[in-house]
Amino acid sequence: MKKLLLYSFTCLSLVVLLSGCSSKGGNSSSKTGIPYANRKSKNNASGAFAVATQYKRAPGPGLIPIEGGVLVVGGSAIEIPGVEPNIYNYKRQVTVPSFYMDETEVSNTDWLEYLHWIRYNYPEDREFYYNELPDTLVWRSSLSYNEPYVDNYLRHPAYRDYPVVGVSWEQASRYCEWRTSRANEFILREKGILTDYKTLSAGTTGKGNNAAAVPKPDKPFNTDAYLNGQYDDKGKNAPVDYNTKAGAATTTAGTGKGNAQPRRTATLEDGVIMQPYRLPTEAEWEYAALGLIGNTEYENINQNKIYPWNGLGVSSASKKTRGMIQANFKRAPGDYMGVGGSLNDKGDLTVPVIQYAANDFGLYNMAGNVNEWVNDVYRTGTFTDADAFNPYRGNYFTNKKLEDSQNGKIALDKYGNPIKENAYSGRKQTWAEKQAQAKRVDSISKSTDPQSITASNNYQADQRGYRDKQNLLLNEEGVTLVNDKSRVYKGGSWNDMAYWLNPATRRFMQQDESSAEVGFRCAMTMLGAPEISTAGKRSFKTPPPKPYRVKGR
């Protein structure tokens, strides 16, 4: 079995920061003729523009690329006699952009790493640690002896590569945020853009008379705070600040020729900061699970699927594995794993996150084992209402709360994470509107409960469609079962019949609830061109831009 390491960077290619030599021709602007800034340029003193011309995108740790395309959501749905059609399963053609997705579900070891980080960095904060503990009592049943799983499933090495369960949607979302900052910090320290781990551990830099103490960060690294210039740590390979007139860099470093130049923090323009990890949207999850890329030739789908594998059944048709069950699920009432000596799916409850064959995208256990949280708020009519491009229901637009509106300093909580508040506007405000808004927010927050900021805001940031008339799902007491905290989960589990293995099926649960049958995996937005590989594919030849040349040079 493969080892699952969160910080496996074998798939990461090196990113070259701010090189002035473009691989597509020229080292100067094609529109102004001004040379781009680089280490050798004589134009740097005039505030020349630096460009990351050699950026190469790559997936973050644990992720694999998923090339997007057209999907008929609900198109793989099947009807089974005696089974009610799955919750108003509409069929509609949509387009899913390319993205990255975890190869496997998040495992117990992955979650224990998260808990270890909390205990190491906040040893006295028992509430923080407790809030991120999975609910192991999800295994408890009044008429089943499951106490060994309550005590052992999360922590015992026998289950280290099994999917973490008992995790709510809210906990999974916080894990994604934590993972984003940890992975970005690792990249930046390994590249020396932040103080490298060896220097940070030693506490000093240089030798003899040149030795200097390295200040310890007062709060853990946070990606948003770093990008906003609120994490002041510049390593020996931090980007050179060529724009010295406008720059506010406080650190200098040699360029290799005895010269000292100011350094700055990395920015999004450098291309070294990864996009945030997050839960996949429902459309992304269904598209990735179905894996029709293996059944497509020149835009023609030669064979549809009802599961993440080909065929109408749940057993393998391959010669070497013929008859073997291809996912971990309940084959019949009371049959969780088959007959001793010939176990059909080789799992009683969950199984390791790498088990069975991957689908055509290279994803494991997209059917069975555990259901998986997706990002969407549940609505019966999501795919009739949502946009045809990248459909999603659950947007809650927020701003990072400002601590100092004049200097753009964002407010951070005690863990160094940005404090979020409702967005103020659906468009870019004018400078005057922005200043007036900042004064209004400051006056409200100082005089009353900060929640009144939301009440005084005319912009409706929440676009979840909570007035959807199709949500008249009531229980016996007449109370609605659907609200703004109802989140979708998909995929089927060890405790589900084969019907729920179909990627089109969908169910929901409250975002603060958890189950022994629900886990999750993360996704990440892919930026740039949607095509992942151009090898062997037809394409138009694009000539490189012609460098601008001044007459007489």
Going by pLDDT thresholds of 50, 70 and 90, the confidence category of residue 7 is very low
What pLDDT does 300 receive? 85
The C-alpha torsion from 11 through 14 and 18 to 20, rounded to 10°, is -120
Range in 26-40, 171-185, 260-274, 393-407 the model is least confident about: 26-40
SS3 of 45-68: HHCCCCCCCCCCCCCCCCEEEECC
474 three-state secondary structure: strand
pLDDT tops 80 at residue 86: no
Range in 187-201, 221-235, 306-320, 455-469 the model is least confident about: 455-469
pLDDT tops 70 at residue 221: yes
What is the CB neighbour count within 10 angstroms for residue 530?
Answer: 13
pLDDT tens digits for range 401-425: 888 877 889 999 999 999 998 888 8
Domains of the chain, by residue range, sit at 56-201+218-244+262-396+483-534, 398-444
Q: What is the Cα–Cα distance from 246 to 538, expressed in whole angstroms?
A: 46
**Mean pLDDT to the nearest integer, 242-257:** 51
**Mean pLDDT to the nearest integer, 66-83:** 81
Q: What is the Cα–Cα distance from 71 to 285, expressed in whole angstroms?
A: 11
* DSSP state string for 412-455: B-TTSPBPEEE-S-SSPPPHHHHHHHHHHHHHHHHHS-TTHHHH
pLDDT tops 80 at residue 111: yes
In percent, the amount of the chain with pLDDT more than 70 equals 78
What pLDDT does 11 receive? 41
Structure tokens at 454: 């939301």
Burial class (CB in 10 A: 0-12, 13-18, 19+), 58: middle
Going by pLDDT thresholds of 50, 70 and 90, the confidence category of residue 13 is very low
Residues 6+ apart with CB under 8 A from 515: 138, 165, 166, 371, 509
Q: Which of residues 441 and 314 earns the better pLDDT score?
A: 314
Mean pLDDT of the chain: 83
**Mean pLDDT to the nearest integer, 121-144:** 96
User: What are the Cα distances from residue 517, in Å, to 52, 88, 140, 370?
Assistant: 45, 23, 12, 5
pLDDT tens digits for range 443-458: 766 655 555 555 555 5
Going by pLDDT thresholds of 50, 70 and 90, the confidence category of residue 242 is confident
Q: What is the Cα–Cα distance from 370 to 150, expressed in whole angstroms?
A: 17
What pLDDT does 81 receive? 58
What pLDDT does 495 receive? 96
Residues shown for the chain: 553
What pLDDT does 12 receive? 42
**Mean pLDDT to the nearest integer, 465-469:** 51
Q: Which residue has the tokens 């004589």?
A: 42
Q: What is the Cα–Cα distance from 251 to 238, expressed in whole angstroms?
A: 9
Structure tokens at 139: 């295994």
Most distant CA pair in the chain: distance in Å?
Answer: 90
Structure tokens at 211: 């030795």
In percent, the amount of the chain with pLDDT more than 90 equals 51
pLDDT tops 60 at residue 254: no
What pLDDT does 460 receive? 63
pLDDT tens digits for range 26-66: 577 888 888 888 776 665 655 678 888 788 889 999 999 99
pLDDT tops 60 at residue 226: yes
Instruction: Report whether 506 contacts 87 (CB < 8 A).
Output: yes
Instruction: Report whether 375 contacts 278 (CB < 8 A).
Output: yes
- E strand map for 149-223: 204-205, 212-213
Burial class (CB in 10 A: 0-12, 13-18, 19+), 497: middle
What pLDDT does 484 receive? 84
Instruction: Report whether 280 contacts 493 (CB < 8 A).
Output: no
Residues 6+ apart with CB under 8 A from 292: 71, 301, 304, 305, 360
Range in 17-26, 161-170, 176-185, 411-420 the model is least confident about: 17-26
Query: pTM of this prediction?
Result: 0.88
- E strand map for 39-126: 63-66, 69-73, 92-96, 99-102
User: Is the CATH code 3.30.460.80 the one for domain 56-201+218-244+262-396+483-534?
Assistant: no
Q: Which of 256-260, 287-291, 436-440 has the highest mean pLDDT?
A: 287-291
pLDDT tens digits for range 310-359: 988 999 988 888 889 999 999 999 999 989 998 989 999 999 999 999 99
Q: Going by DSSP bridges, is the β-strand pair 518-519/371-377 parallel, antiparallel, or unpaired? A: parallel
Q: Which of 174-178, 212-216, 425-429 has the highest mean pLDDT?
A: 174-178
pLDDT tens digits for range 488-499: 999 999 999 999
What pLDDT does 438 receive? 79
Q: Which of residues 76 and 10 earns the better pLDDT score?
A: 76
pLDDT tops 70 at residue 249: no
What pLDDT does 542 receive? 77
Residues 6+ apart with CB under 8 A from 384: 90, 92
- Which amino acid makes up residue 374? V
Going by pLDDT thresholds of 50, 70 and 90, the confidence category of residue 125 is very high
- What's the distance, Cα to Cα, between the start and end of the chain in Å? 62
